[in-house]
Every structure is written in structure tokens, then in C-alpha cells.
A and B are shown apart, each in its own frame.
Chain A
Amino acid sequence: MSIVSLRPHRVAQLVLVPTILLTVIGVYGSMLWTLQISFTSSGLLPTGKFIGLEQYFKLFEQDRWHVSYRNMFVLGGIYMFTCLAFGLLLAIAMDQGVRAKNVLQTIFLYPIALSFIVTGLAWRWVLNPTTGLEYFVQGLGFSGFKFNLLNNPELAIFTLVIAAVWHGSGLMMAIIFAGLQSVDSELWRASRVDGIPKFTMYRRVILPMLLPVFLTCIVLLAMGVVKSYDLVVAMTGGGPGYSTDLPAKFVVDHLFDRANIGRASAAAVLMLLTVIALLVLSSVATRLRKHSQSDQGAKPEQGNKS
């Protein structure tokens, strides 16, 4: 009787309780704990005294933190843009029905099956001037050939971009391709009747329709950027110097090797704040877009009625 009297949505809520509890304790509890630690002088053990914002002040005195924080945006910006661009081009090529589509798709998708550690190691060998591309080309007889990005503190960050784009564009291709396939074929037929060039069709009709797909892609890529740690460790170790350091690596280094969990927590909190800021920005952007869409959508309807 009593079971029957429960409404379905109440049952669903009850089922969700353990998950919600786990999330609240495991995720938000840990966040609060990290926040609390970041206000203490904790070293190896989380038992330090309360020292207010001092860990944050010291963090901002560290040039290494500034470099790694800036790198997150440099790497993130170039990586996300290049990955999307490559993914889009590949997806359109697939959509246009190139030959041996399935084989190519497998080839482009394959890198995503490798972990970042393997990706990083492989690219490190390729880009290392004494073992990789430079050595190979010089061996072919072009002794003046130089390809030495890994040694240059200003350019080494781009080696990470190369490896990450190689790793990620296949997945972007797959997602965008799925989006393109879902476009109604009637649309294409209509465009042919009207004689609209393909380029214009993509630019003005198809791609705007796929905006939600691009948003998914951007969220996926952005998460990858914020948490990227293994790629740097495998490829450059943050070097030369600390020119390719990333916040996640900064945090882990201070957490374990430097035995300074107070500083590490402060850096982690700043990472979290950055993510929250980006989330707020993107949700505001989506809301604005919805507003302008519903405004545009409302007008013709009224016109029809009158």
C-alpha cells in the first residue's frame, strides 16, 4: 500500500539520494576542505595554522605560477580553435563523401584512443632534435635543417598544441560529422533547387544550425585544457625552464614533491574560480543567445496572425 502511494517522481528522488549525498560530500565537501586548507600554513600535513590570504599573496609572487596560469589560456585558446577548425574541415570532407571514408575516419579517430602519456612520449621523440624529425631529415643529407621547438622556451608551448591537436581533432571530427549527418537532406535538396553554392550553404545555414554541437565540443575541449597534466609531464616536464608549466602540474608538484599543500590548495582554488568564471560567462552567453532567438522567432508568428 505504502509503496503504491508513493508518486513516481518521489521514488526517483529517493533513488537519487545516495548519489546526491556522495556528490555533496565527495565533490563539494572536498572543495570546501581545499578552500579551508588554502587559508592555512599547512606543509606536509593538513594541520597548519590559519594565516588568511598569505598563501595567495605568496602564490602571486611566484613567477612560475603566472607563467603556468598564462599558459593555460595560450594553450587553451590555440588548442580549442585549431582542434575545432581541423575537426570541422575533416567532418565536411567526410560529409561530402570522400573515398574510403570509413578507413580515414578510423585513422583520424585513432589518436583519441591513446592516453596523453603515450601521445606525449611519442611526440617528444618526434620533436626531440637528437632522436626525431631533425635528426631524420639531417640524416637524409639536409644538414642545415633545424626543427628545435622543444629547446626554445618561447616556442615549446606550441609542441604541446601540436600533440594535443593531433590527439583531439579526430573526436571533434566525429562529433561534428554526426551533427552534419543529422541535417535534413530536404534542406540540401532545396538549396540545389535554389542554386545556392555549397560554401554559402555551410556558412549561412548548416553551421549556425550546429551551434549546440560546437558548444558541446568547446566544453569538452575546455575541460581537457584545465585538467591537462599528463601531456606536459610526458612531453616537456614543464620545461625548458618552467615555460610550459600548467596550473595542474604546479598544484601536483607543490602537493607532493614540495610538501606544501597550503600553496597547492590556494592554486587549486584559483583554478576552480577560473572554471566557475568561464561557466558563468558561457551560461550568460547562451541565455543572451536564447533571448535574441526567441525575439526573432516571435515576430513572424505575430505577422502571420495579423
Chain B
Amino acid sequence: MRIRTEKTFIIFSMIGFILLAFIVLPLAKIIFSHDLPTLVDTLAMPGVRDAIWLSIYASLLTAIIACILGTPLAYVLARKNFRGKSLVEAIVDLPLAVPHTVVGIGLLMVFGRQQIIGGLFYDKFDFRFFGTLSGVILAMLFVSSPFMVNSAREGFESVNQRMEYAARTLGASQFEVFRRISLPLARRGIVTGMILTWARSISEFGAVYILAYFVSFWDIRTMEPNIAMTAPVLIADQFLQYGLERSSAIAAILLLVCLSLFVILRYLSGRQR
């Protein structure tokens, strides 16, 4: 028997291994440098629990809002060619290229209390974005929206357009075709988009840091107002105040939470079909 050597693939795999190790090592180091009692103690600190809860809660709301706002645009981009389409596509991807502190500054200059939109909300409804859950969601939505739109678009593009044609000939209006054919069939892309949006949102630091360092929000666990930092902001805060030891324990918890959610969601979205 002759053993075929695939040299190219062996070398490429070895190079790839460097990258994988680069990703896994720091994360593993964070998790394994703390023993369980330390983690439990850290988690017992109210500020930590609130921060992790706020991060999960805000990023989940962001994913839902991104889905509602992003799916229609994704469908248009998947189905229609029009003048200026590449400009629209560029705008969709723009958040990927803008530094996140710049995003925070920009949002503040529109949604701040004395700014164009923020002022309107403040005057009419006494509603503030700065330092609130809404501010966190704005920041998260801005940086994560490309993932939602692009994923959902891929989902819609994978649906054979003739299938939509067939549904039209059978009597379904454009919206009915969307509701009964395109949307269910693009579900995977949309769900993937929501997972990516959620993952990107929960990890957001820069824009949130500018817009809502301390976040006042209505805590649906206690049904009372609460104030907390999001987990990434808390980690930075603790790092600057107390150093690596303390911040890395919180980091370990946030990482474990994110990893477990990530694994569960990937499993769930992979199973449906």
C-alpha cells in the first residue's frame, strides 16, 4: 500500500495550527488560572453578577432589534439590483471599519441630551440615551449590525428565486412569498446573524464605554431600577483600579458565560432544519 503524502495540506495545517493556538491559549489561560472557589467568590460580588446579567440582557435585546431592522434590508439586497447598491453595501459594512471609540463619540453627538435626536427624545419624553440601557443597545447595534445584515442576506440568497416565482404564480403576493417561503427558508442565515450579532454585542467595549459607563436600567429580575457596568467595562475598570488578578477573575467568568451560550446557540441553530 502506498501512503499518499499531501505535503501542501500538511504544511498549511501546521501554519493554521499556529493561529488556532494563538486564539485558544490566552482564553484557556484566563479560565485555568483561577480555581473554582475564587470564581465563585467573584461571582458572589453583586457588581459582577449585575454586569454579566446586563451584558447578556442588552446584547440579547440588540440581537432582536438588529433582526427586526436588518432582515428587510437583507432581503432587498439579496433580491434587487439598483443604482447605488454598492454604496448601500459599503454603508452596511462601514461599522466594521470604524474604531469603536469613534462610534461612541459619533453616537453621542447624535443621541446626546442636547443633540439632534437625543434632544428630541429628552424634550418630548424625558428620555436619555447617555448612561442608560438604550445607550448600551445603540452602541451594540451600531457595531454588530453588519453581521446581521450580511448573514441574513446570505440566507436569502441561498433560497432559489424561482421558488419565489413559483409561489407568485400560485397566487401569493410578494409579502406572502416572503412570509411563507423566503423567511422560513432563510431562517438559518437569520439565526446565524442573530448569534453573531449577540456575540459581537456582548463583547463590545469601546462604544459602550463612551456612551454608557455606568448604566442605569430597569432590572427585570427585581422589577426595580438598577445601576451597573457592562461586563467588558467592569473588567477594564477593575484592571485599571486593582490590576490583573482581580480583573482576570471577572474575565474568566464572562468568558465561561459567553462560551457556554455560544456553544448552546451553535448547537441549537445547527440542529434546526
Q: Do A and B come from one complex?
A: no
Interface set of A (CB-CB < 8 Å, partner B): none
Interface set of B (CB-CB < 8 Å, partner A): none
